[in-house]
Amino acid sequence: MSQKFDVVVIGAGPGGYVAAIKAAQLGLKTACIEKYQDKEGKLALGGTCLNVGCIPSKALLDSSWKFYEAKNGFAVHGISTSELKMDIAAMIGRKAQIVKGLTGGVASLFKANGVTSLQGHGKLLAGKKVELTGVDGTVEIIEADHVILASGSRPIDIPPAPVDQKTIVDSTGALEFPAVPERLCVIGAGVIGLELGSVWARLGSKVTVLEALEKFLPAADEAVAKEAHKTFAKQGLDIKLGARVTGSKVNGDEVVVTYTDKDGEQNITFDRVIVAVGRRPVTTDLLASDSGVDIDERGFIFVNDQCETSVPGVYAIGDVVRGLMLAHKASEEGIMVVERIKGHKTQLNYDLVPSVIYTHPEIAWVGKTEQTLKAEGVEVNVGSFPFAASGRAMAANDTGGFVKVIADAKTDRVLGVHVIGPGAAELVQQGAIGMEFGTSAEDIGMMVFSHPTLSEALHEAALAVNGGAIHIQNKKKR
Protein backbone atom coordinates (compact mmCIF):
# COMPACT_ATOMS: atom_id res chain seq x y z
CA MET A 1 0.00 0.00 0.00
CA SER A 2 1.42 3.38 -1.02
CA GLN A 3 1.85 6.25 1.41
CA LYS A 4 -0.68 9.09 1.26
CA PHE A 5 -0.03 12.70 2.25
CA ASP A 6 -1.90 15.98 2.16
CA VAL A 7 1.22 17.70 0.79
CA VAL A 8 4.31 16.27 -0.86
CA VAL A 9 7.21 18.65 -1.48
CA ILE A 10 9.95 17.69 -3.94
CA GLY A 11 13.14 19.44 -2.90
CA ALA A 12 14.37 20.51 0.55
CA GLY A 13 16.01 23.81 -0.34
CA PRO A 14 14.96 27.17 1.13
CA GLY A 15 11.69 26.99 -0.79
CA GLY A 16 10.89 23.35 -0.20
CA TYR A 17 11.85 22.91 3.44
CA VAL A 18 10.10 26.13 4.46
CA ALA A 19 6.95 25.04 2.60
CA ALA A 20 7.06 21.62 4.26
CA ILE A 21 7.46 23.07 7.77
CA LYS A 22 4.67 25.61 7.19
CA ALA A 23 2.35 22.91 5.85
CA ALA A 24 2.94 20.74 8.91
CA GLN A 25 2.39 23.73 11.19
CA LEU A 26 -0.99 24.27 9.53
CA GLY A 27 -2.04 20.71 10.25
CA LEU A 28 -1.34 19.11 6.89
CA LYS A 29 0.23 15.65 6.73
CA THR A 30 3.44 16.50 4.91
CA ALA A 31 6.38 14.76 3.29
CA CYS A 32 9.50 16.34 1.81
CA ILE A 33 11.67 14.46 -0.70
CA GLU A 34 15.38 15.22 -1.07
CA LYS A 35 18.20 13.25 -2.70
CA TYR A 36 21.26 15.44 -2.00
CA GLN A 37 24.01 13.78 0.02
CA ASP A 38 26.99 15.30 1.78
CA LYS A 39 30.59 14.09 1.44
CA GLU A 40 29.89 11.41 4.03
CA GLY A 41 27.04 10.03 1.95
CA LYS A 42 24.39 11.25 4.38
CA LEU A 43 21.17 13.05 3.46
CA ALA A 44 21.78 16.82 3.55
CA LEU A 45 18.74 19.07 3.66
CA GLY A 46 18.78 22.78 2.81
CA GLY A 47 19.42 22.63 -0.93
CA THR A 48 22.00 24.69 -2.77
CA CYS A 49 21.56 27.61 -0.36
CA LEU A 50 22.69 25.83 2.79
CA ASN A 51 25.06 23.29 1.24
CA VAL A 52 26.94 24.95 -1.63
CA GLY A 53 25.46 28.42 -2.07
CA CYS A 54 24.35 31.28 0.16
CA ILE A 55 25.65 30.03 3.50
CA PRO A 56 29.09 28.58 2.66
CA SER A 57 29.90 31.51 0.37
CA LYS A 58 29.04 33.98 3.14
CA ALA A 59 31.22 32.04 5.56
CA LEU A 60 34.17 32.39 3.17
CA LEU A 61 33.34 36.04 2.51
CA ASP A 62 33.38 36.83 6.22
CA SER A 63 36.58 34.88 6.87
CA SER A 64 38.39 36.43 3.92
CA TRP A 65 37.23 39.93 4.87
CA LYS A 66 38.55 39.56 8.40
CA PHE A 67 41.94 38.57 6.94
CA TYR A 68 41.86 41.44 4.44
CA GLU A 69 40.91 43.96 7.12
CA ALA A 70 43.59 42.69 9.50
CA LYS A 71 46.15 43.04 6.75
CA ASN A 72 45.04 46.41 5.36
CA GLY A 73 42.78 48.16 7.85
CA PHE A 74 43.94 47.56 11.40
CA ALA A 75 46.78 50.08 11.48
CA VAL A 76 44.41 53.03 11.45
CA HIS A 77 42.90 51.69 14.68
CA GLY A 78 46.33 51.51 16.28
CA ILE A 79 46.49 47.73 15.97
CA SER A 80 49.78 46.28 14.72
CA THR A 81 49.97 42.84 13.13
CA SER A 82 52.99 40.86 12.02
CA GLU A 83 53.46 37.57 10.23
CA LEU A 84 49.78 37.46 9.34
CA LYS A 85 48.85 34.09 7.86
CA MET A 86 45.72 32.46 6.48
CA ASP A 87 45.08 28.79 7.13
CA ILE A 88 42.94 27.85 4.12
CA ALA A 89 42.16 24.40 5.48
CA ALA A 90 40.87 25.93 8.74
CA MET A 91 38.78 28.45 6.79
CA ILE A 92 37.22 25.68 4.67
CA GLY A 93 36.71 23.57 7.79
CA ARG A 94 34.86 26.38 9.55
CA LYS A 95 32.63 26.76 6.52
CA ALA A 96 31.88 23.03 6.56
CA GLN A 97 30.92 23.12 10.24
CA ILE A 98 28.51 25.98 9.68
CA VAL A 99 26.90 24.08 6.81
CA LYS A 100 26.65 20.90 8.87
CA GLY A 101 25.04 22.77 11.74
CA LEU A 102 22.42 24.43 9.60
CA THR A 103 21.52 21.38 7.51
CA GLY A 104 21.24 19.36 10.70
CA GLY A 105 19.03 22.12 12.04
CA VAL A 106 16.58 21.63 9.17
CA ALA A 107 16.39 17.91 9.97
CA SER A 108 15.62 18.80 13.59
CA LEU A 109 12.91 21.23 12.50
CA PHE A 110 11.33 18.54 10.32
CA LYS A 111 11.22 16.21 13.30
CA ALA A 112 9.88 18.88 15.65
CA ASN A 113 7.09 19.85 13.25
CA GLY A 114 6.16 16.34 12.15
CA VAL A 115 7.41 16.52 8.55
CA THR A 116 8.20 13.12 7.04
CA SER A 117 11.63 13.29 5.41
CA LEU A 118 12.04 10.94 2.44
CA GLN A 119 15.42 10.37 0.82
CA GLY A 120 15.61 9.82 -2.90
CA HIS A 121 14.60 11.24 -6.27
CA GLY A 122 11.05 12.53 -6.64
CA LYS A 123 9.22 12.55 -9.97
CA LEU A 124 5.70 13.85 -10.57
CA LEU A 125 3.37 11.42 -12.31
CA ALA A 126 -0.17 11.91 -13.56
CA GLY A 127 -2.91 12.31 -10.99
CA LYS A 128 -0.70 14.00 -8.39
CA LYS A 129 1.20 10.83 -7.72
CA VAL A 130 4.93 11.02 -6.96
CA GLU A 131 7.44 8.36 -7.86
CA LEU A 132 10.15 8.08 -5.20
CA THR A 133 13.33 6.32 -6.25
CA GLY A 134 15.43 5.55 -3.19
CA VAL A 135 19.20 5.63 -3.02
CA ASP A 136 19.16 1.83 -3.27
CA GLY A 137 17.12 1.95 -6.46
CA THR A 138 13.81 0.85 -4.95
CA VAL A 139 10.73 2.61 -6.32
CA GLU A 140 7.69 3.67 -4.35
CA ILE A 141 4.56 5.52 -5.48
CA ILE A 142 3.33 8.23 -3.12
CA GLU A 143 -0.13 9.78 -3.35
CA ALA A 144 -0.80 13.41 -2.52
CA ASP A 145 -3.64 15.90 -2.48
CA HIS A 146 -1.16 18.67 -3.25
CA VAL A 147 2.36 18.61 -4.70
CA ILE A 148 4.90 21.41 -4.46
CA LEU A 149 7.80 21.30 -6.93
CA ALA A 150 10.88 22.95 -5.41
CA SER A 151 13.82 21.24 -7.11
CA GLY A 152 15.97 24.37 -7.38
CA SER A 153 18.71 25.18 -9.87
CA ARG A 154 22.27 24.25 -10.86
CA PRO A 155 25.17 26.22 -12.39
CA ILE A 156 25.07 26.81 -16.14
CA ASP A 157 27.83 25.11 -18.10
CA ILE A 158 29.40 26.77 -21.13
CA PRO A 159 31.14 24.82 -23.93
CA PRO A 160 34.19 27.15 -24.14
CA ALA A 161 35.10 26.34 -20.52
CA PRO A 162 34.03 22.79 -19.57
CA VAL A 163 34.04 22.28 -15.81
CA ASP A 164 36.30 19.53 -14.43
CA GLN A 165 36.12 20.72 -10.79
CA LYS A 166 39.91 20.79 -10.70
CA THR A 167 41.32 23.53 -12.90
CA ILE A 168 38.00 24.83 -14.22
CA VAL A 169 35.32 24.86 -11.53
CA ASP A 170 31.78 26.07 -11.01
CA SER A 171 30.52 27.93 -7.96
CA THR A 172 30.54 24.72 -5.92
CA GLY A 173 34.16 23.93 -6.74
CA ALA A 174 35.18 27.51 -5.95
CA LEU A 175 34.21 26.89 -2.32
CA GLU A 176 36.78 24.13 -1.96
CA PHE A 177 40.11 25.45 -3.28
CA PRO A 178 42.84 23.81 -1.14
CA ALA A 179 45.15 26.80 -1.69
CA VAL A 180 44.94 30.38 -2.92
CA PRO A 181 45.31 30.44 -6.73
CA GLU A 182 47.97 32.90 -7.81
CA ARG A 183 46.09 33.78 -11.00
CA LEU A 184 42.32 33.37 -10.97
CA CYS A 185 39.82 33.91 -13.77
CA VAL A 186 36.13 34.42 -13.04
CA ILE A 187 33.82 34.12 -16.02
CA GLY A 188 30.78 36.25 -15.26
CA ALA A 189 30.48 39.50 -13.30
CA GLY A 190 27.16 38.70 -11.67
CA VAL A 191 26.41 38.20 -7.98
CA ILE A 192 28.12 34.80 -7.71
CA GLY A 193 31.17 35.79 -9.73
CA LEU A 194 31.77 38.99 -7.77
CA GLU A 195 31.33 37.31 -4.39
CA LEU A 196 33.62 34.37 -5.13
CA GLY A 197 36.13 36.57 -6.91
CA SER A 198 36.21 38.82 -3.85
CA VAL A 199 36.91 35.91 -1.51
CA TRP A 200 40.06 34.81 -3.31
CA ALA A 201 41.23 38.33 -4.21
CA ARG A 202 41.25 39.22 -0.50
CA LEU A 203 43.42 36.19 0.18
CA GLY A 204 45.97 37.13 -2.46
CA SER A 205 44.78 35.95 -5.87
CA LYS A 206 45.24 38.17 -8.88
CA VAL A 207 41.66 38.06 -10.10
CA THR A 208 40.47 38.80 -13.63
CA VAL A 209 36.73 38.90 -14.24
CA LEU A 210 35.57 38.36 -17.83
CA GLU A 211 32.05 39.65 -18.49
CA ALA A 212 30.43 39.31 -21.92
CA LEU A 213 28.05 42.23 -21.36
CA GLU A 214 29.23 45.76 -22.05
CA LYS A 215 27.42 47.08 -18.96
CA PHE A 216 28.40 46.31 -15.36
CA LEU A 217 25.61 45.11 -13.03
CA PRO A 218 22.79 46.11 -15.41
CA ALA A 219 20.09 45.21 -12.87
CA ALA A 220 21.45 47.68 -10.32
CA ASP A 221 20.97 51.42 -10.24
CA GLU A 222 23.56 53.05 -12.52
CA ALA A 223 25.03 55.18 -9.74
CA VAL A 224 25.48 52.11 -7.55
CA ALA A 225 26.99 50.06 -10.37
CA LYS A 226 29.45 52.82 -11.19
CA GLU A 227 30.56 53.13 -7.57
CA ALA A 228 30.88 49.34 -7.26
CA HIS A 229 33.00 49.04 -10.40
CA LYS A 230 35.37 51.72 -9.12
CA THR A 231 35.62 50.14 -5.67
CA PHE A 232 36.24 46.61 -6.92
CA ALA A 233 39.01 47.89 -9.18
CA LYS A 234 40.70 49.43 -6.13
CA GLN A 235 40.40 46.07 -4.37
CA GLY A 236 42.27 44.37 -7.20
CA LEU A 237 39.45 42.88 -9.28
CA ASP A 238 40.33 43.43 -12.96
CA ILE A 239 36.85 43.49 -14.50
CA LYS A 240 36.87 43.30 -18.29
CA LEU A 241 33.53 44.15 -19.86
CA GLY A 242 32.54 43.09 -23.36
CA ALA A 243 34.87 40.09 -22.99
CA ARG A 244 33.23 36.97 -24.40
CA VAL A 245 35.03 33.71 -23.62
CA THR A 246 35.45 31.57 -26.74
CA GLY A 247 37.69 28.78 -25.54
CA SER A 248 40.01 27.32 -22.93
CA LYS A 249 42.86 24.82 -22.90
CA VAL A 250 44.14 23.06 -19.80
CA ASN A 251 47.89 22.54 -19.71
CA GLY A 252 48.79 20.65 -16.56
CA ASP A 253 48.04 22.95 -13.62
CA GLU A 254 47.34 25.93 -15.86
CA VAL A 255 44.56 26.92 -18.22
CA VAL A 256 44.74 29.32 -21.14
CA VAL A 257 41.48 31.22 -21.59
CA THR A 258 40.66 32.75 -24.95
CA TYR A 259 38.20 35.62 -25.21
CA THR A 260 37.24 38.33 -27.66
CA ASP A 261 36.76 42.01 -26.91
CA LYS A 262 36.81 45.28 -28.85
CA ASP A 263 40.50 44.71 -29.60
CA GLY A 264 39.97 41.23 -31.02
CA GLU A 265 41.05 37.83 -29.71
CA GLN A 266 42.95 37.69 -26.40
CA ASN A 267 44.64 34.89 -24.45
CA ILE A 268 45.44 34.87 -20.71
CA THR A 269 46.93 32.06 -18.61
CA PHE A 270 45.44 31.29 -15.20
CA ASP A 271 45.93 28.75 -12.42
CA ARG A 272 42.20 28.32 -11.85
CA VAL A 273 38.98 29.36 -13.60
CA ILE A 274 35.56 29.84 -11.99
CA VAL A 275 32.58 29.62 -14.35
CA ALA A 276 29.82 31.80 -12.86
CA VAL A 277 27.54 32.74 -15.75
CA GLY A 278 24.25 32.00 -14.04
CA ARG A 279 22.04 29.08 -13.06
CA ARG A 280 19.38 26.98 -14.73
CA PRO A 281 16.34 25.19 -13.27
CA VAL A 282 16.59 21.56 -12.25
CA THR A 283 13.62 20.04 -14.03
CA THR A 284 15.33 17.11 -15.76
CA ASP A 285 13.49 13.89 -14.86
CA LEU A 286 11.25 15.85 -12.50
CA LEU A 287 8.09 15.49 -14.57
CA ALA A 288 6.64 12.42 -16.26
CA SER A 289 5.49 13.00 -19.83
CA ASP A 290 1.86 12.66 -18.73
CA SER A 291 2.17 14.79 -15.56
CA GLY A 292 0.34 17.63 -17.28
CA VAL A 293 2.72 20.30 -16.00
CA ASP A 294 3.95 22.71 -18.68
CA ILE A 295 7.55 23.92 -18.94
CA ASP A 296 9.18 26.38 -21.34
CA GLU A 297 12.12 25.88 -23.68
CA ARG A 298 14.59 26.81 -20.92
CA GLY A 299 13.20 24.29 -18.48
CA PHE A 300 11.23 26.69 -16.26
CA ILE A 301 7.83 25.55 -15.03
CA PHE A 302 4.91 27.76 -16.06
CA VAL A 303 3.06 29.19 -13.04
CA ASN A 304 0.71 32.08 -12.33
CA ASP A 305 1.27 34.77 -9.69
CA GLN A 306 0.19 32.31 -6.99
CA CYS A 307 2.70 29.65 -8.19
CA GLU A 308 -0.05 27.37 -9.51
CA THR A 309 0.98 25.17 -12.45
CA SER A 310 -1.23 23.99 -15.29
CA VAL A 311 -2.38 21.08 -13.08
CA PRO A 312 -4.80 21.91 -10.23
CA GLY A 313 -3.22 21.04 -6.90
CA VAL A 314 0.34 21.11 -8.25
CA TYR A 315 2.52 24.13 -7.47
CA ALA A 316 6.08 25.17 -8.29
CA ILE A 317 8.28 27.61 -6.39
CA GLY A 318 11.78 29.05 -6.26
CA ASP A 319 14.40 28.68 -8.94
CA VAL A 320 12.28 26.43 -11.16
CA VAL A 321 9.83 29.25 -11.92
CA ARG A 322 9.96 32.80 -13.32
CA GLY A 323 11.58 35.62 -11.44
CA LEU A 324 14.74 36.16 -9.46
CA MET A 325 16.68 33.12 -8.26
CA LEU A 326 16.81 34.11 -4.60
CA ALA A 327 16.46 31.97 -1.49
CA HIS A 328 14.19 34.47 0.26
CA LYS A 329 11.90 34.67 -2.76
CA ALA A 330 11.63 30.86 -2.78
CA SER A 331 10.87 30.73 0.96
CA GLU A 332 8.08 33.27 0.76
CA GLU A 333 6.59 31.52 -2.29
CA GLY A 334 6.54 28.30 -0.28
CA ILE A 335 4.66 29.96 2.56
CA MET A 336 2.23 31.64 0.14
CA VAL A 337 1.43 28.34 -1.59
CA VAL A 338 0.79 26.44 1.64
CA GLU A 339 -1.41 29.19 3.06
CA ARG A 340 -3.42 29.22 -0.17
CA ILE A 341 -3.81 25.44 0.08
CA LYS A 342 -5.39 26.10 3.49
CA GLY A 343 -7.80 28.57 1.91
CA HIS A 344 -6.10 31.87 2.74
CA LYS A 345 -5.80 34.58 0.06
CA THR A 346 -2.11 35.20 0.67
CA GLN A 347 -0.24 37.13 -2.04
CA LEU A 348 3.45 37.84 -2.56
CA ASN A 349 4.54 41.35 -3.55
CA TYR A 350 7.09 40.57 -6.25
CA ASP A 351 7.81 44.28 -6.71
CA LEU A 352 9.48 44.39 -3.30
CA VAL A 353 11.83 41.41 -3.35
CA PRO A 354 15.24 42.76 -2.20
CA SER A 355 18.45 41.92 -4.05
CA VAL A 356 21.81 41.74 -2.27
CA ILE A 357 25.43 41.24 -3.32
CA TYR A 358 27.54 40.32 -0.29
CA THR A 359 30.79 41.86 -1.43
CA HIS A 360 32.48 44.57 0.59
CA PRO A 361 31.03 47.08 0.32
CA GLU A 362 27.68 45.32 0.25
CA ILE A 363 25.30 46.20 -2.56
CA ALA A 364 21.54 45.98 -2.10
CA TRP A 365 18.37 47.39 -3.55
CA VAL A 366 14.61 47.08 -3.49
CA GLY A 367 12.06 48.58 -5.86
CA LYS A 368 12.91 50.23 -9.16
CA THR A 369 16.03 52.02 -10.35
CA GLU A 370 16.09 55.66 -11.36
CA GLN A 371 16.80 54.64 -14.96
CA THR A 372 13.82 52.27 -15.11
CA LEU A 373 11.43 54.84 -13.68
CA LYS A 374 12.55 57.56 -16.07
CA ALA A 375 12.21 55.13 -19.00
CA GLU A 376 8.64 54.51 -17.83
CA GLY A 377 8.00 58.26 -17.86
CA VAL A 378 7.71 58.58 -14.08
CA GLU A 379 8.89 61.89 -12.65
CA VAL A 380 11.02 61.30 -9.58
CA ASN A 381 12.87 63.11 -6.85
CA VAL A 382 16.11 61.55 -5.66
CA GLY A 383 17.99 61.89 -2.40
CA SER A 384 21.44 60.47 -1.66
CA PHE A 385 23.58 60.43 1.43
CA PRO A 386 27.24 59.32 1.48
CA PHE A 387 28.60 57.12 4.26
CA ALA A 388 31.57 59.48 4.28
CA ALA A 389 29.26 61.88 6.18
CA SER A 390 28.05 59.20 8.61
CA GLY A 391 29.53 59.41 12.10
CA ARG A 392 29.00 55.69 12.67
CA ALA A 393 30.68 54.75 9.39
CA MET A 394 33.59 57.06 10.15
CA ALA A 395 34.03 55.51 13.59
CA ALA A 396 34.18 52.08 11.95
CA ASN A 397 36.56 53.31 9.21
CA ASP A 398 34.06 52.03 6.62
CA THR A 399 32.91 55.10 4.71
CA GLY A 400 32.64 53.94 1.10
CA GLY A 401 29.35 54.16 -0.78
CA PHE A 402 25.99 55.84 -0.20
CA VAL A 403 22.25 55.41 0.30
CA LYS A 404 19.90 56.50 -2.48
CA VAL A 405 16.15 56.98 -2.09
CA ILE A 406 13.89 57.50 -5.10
CA ALA A 407 10.39 58.90 -4.68
CA ASP A 408 7.52 59.80 -6.99
CA ALA A 409 7.74 63.56 -7.65
CA LYS A 410 3.97 63.97 -7.39
CA THR A 411 3.05 61.73 -4.45
CA ASP A 412 6.41 61.46 -2.62
CA ARG A 413 5.85 57.70 -2.37
CA VAL A 414 9.15 55.83 -2.16
CA LEU A 415 9.68 53.73 -5.30
CA GLY A 416 13.22 52.49 -4.74
CA VAL A 417 15.98 52.26 -2.13
CA HIS A 418 19.52 51.51 -3.32
CA VAL A 419 22.58 51.11 -1.11
CA ILE A 420 26.24 50.42 -1.58
CA GLY A 421 28.21 50.44 1.64
CA PRO A 422 28.30 48.98 5.16
CA GLY A 423 25.14 47.22 6.26
CA ALA A 424 23.51 47.63 2.85
CA ALA A 425 21.36 44.51 3.16
CA GLU A 426 19.93 45.60 6.51
CA LEU A 427 19.30 49.20 5.41
CA VAL A 428 17.50 48.10 2.25
CA GLN A 429 15.28 45.84 4.33
CA GLN A 430 14.23 48.88 6.36
CA GLY A 431 13.29 50.53 3.08
CA ALA A 432 11.35 47.46 1.97
CA ILE A 433 9.31 47.46 5.16
CA GLY A 434 8.36 51.07 4.64
CA MET A 435 7.59 50.59 0.96
CA GLU A 436 5.32 47.61 1.73
CA PHE A 437 3.13 50.04 3.68
CA GLY A 438 3.30 52.78 1.03
CA THR A 439 5.71 55.06 2.87
CA SER A 440 6.64 58.47 1.55
CA ALA A 441 10.10 60.00 1.75
CA GLU A 442 8.63 62.51 4.18
CA ASP A 443 7.42 59.67 6.43
CA ILE A 444 10.94 58.26 6.72
CA GLY A 445 12.31 61.74 7.25
CA MET A 446 9.95 62.33 10.16
CA MET A 447 10.92 59.10 11.96
CA VAL A 448 13.38 59.15 14.85
CA PHE A 449 16.56 57.18 14.07
CA SER A 450 18.96 56.27 16.86
CA HIS A 451 22.38 57.94 16.83
CA PRO A 452 24.98 57.05 15.87
CA THR A 453 23.86 54.36 13.45
CA LEU A 454 24.30 53.47 9.81
CA SER A 455 20.51 53.71 9.54
CA GLU A 456 20.80 57.48 9.80
CA ALA A 457 22.11 57.42 6.23
CA LEU A 458 18.70 56.16 5.08
CA HIS A 459 17.06 58.88 7.16
CA GLU A 460 19.21 61.59 5.60
CA ALA A 461 18.74 60.25 2.07
CA ALA A 462 14.98 60.36 2.56
CA LEU A 463 15.26 63.94 3.84
CA ALA A 464 17.42 64.81 0.83
CA VAL A 465 14.63 63.72 -1.54
CA ASN A 466 12.83 66.94 -0.70
CA GLY A 467 15.90 69.07 -0.05
CA GLY A 468 15.86 68.71 3.72
CA ALA A 469 19.02 66.76 4.56
CA ILE A 470 20.84 68.07 7.62
CA HIS A 471 24.34 66.64 7.43
CA ILE A 472 25.11 67.29 3.75
CA GLN A 473 24.51 70.21 1.47
CA ASN A 474 21.22 69.78 -0.36
CA LYS A 475 21.05 69.98 -4.12
CA LYS A 476 19.09 72.90 -5.47
CA LYS A 477 15.70 72.05 -6.92
CA ARG A 478 15.35 72.65 -10.63
- The set of catalytic residues is 451
Beta bridge partners of 118: 33
Pairing verdict, β 129-133 and 121-124 = antiparallel
Backbone angles phi, psi at 315, to 5 degrees: -125, 160
Amino acid at 99: V
d(CA 129, CA 141): 7
Backbone torsions φ then ψ of 110, nearest 5 degrees: -60, -45
Cα 57 from Cα 173, distance rounded (Å) = 11
Indicate the helix (H) or strand (E) that contains 267: strand 264-270
The answer for 107, left when phi > 0, alpha when psi is -120 to 50, beta otherwise, is alpha
Q: Could you tell me the CA-to-CA distances from 454 to 58, 362, 373, 414, 423 in Å, in that order?
A: 21, 13, 27, 19, 7
Cross-strand partners of 221:
none
Give the Cα separation of 356 and 427 in Å (integer).
11
Length of the chain: 478
The answer to whether 34 touches 11, Cβ cutoff 8 Å, is: yes
| Tally of CB atoms within 10 A around 428 | 26
Torsion of CA 12, 14, 19, 21, to 10 degrees: 80
Distance between CA atoms of 33 and 397, rounded to whole angstroms? 47
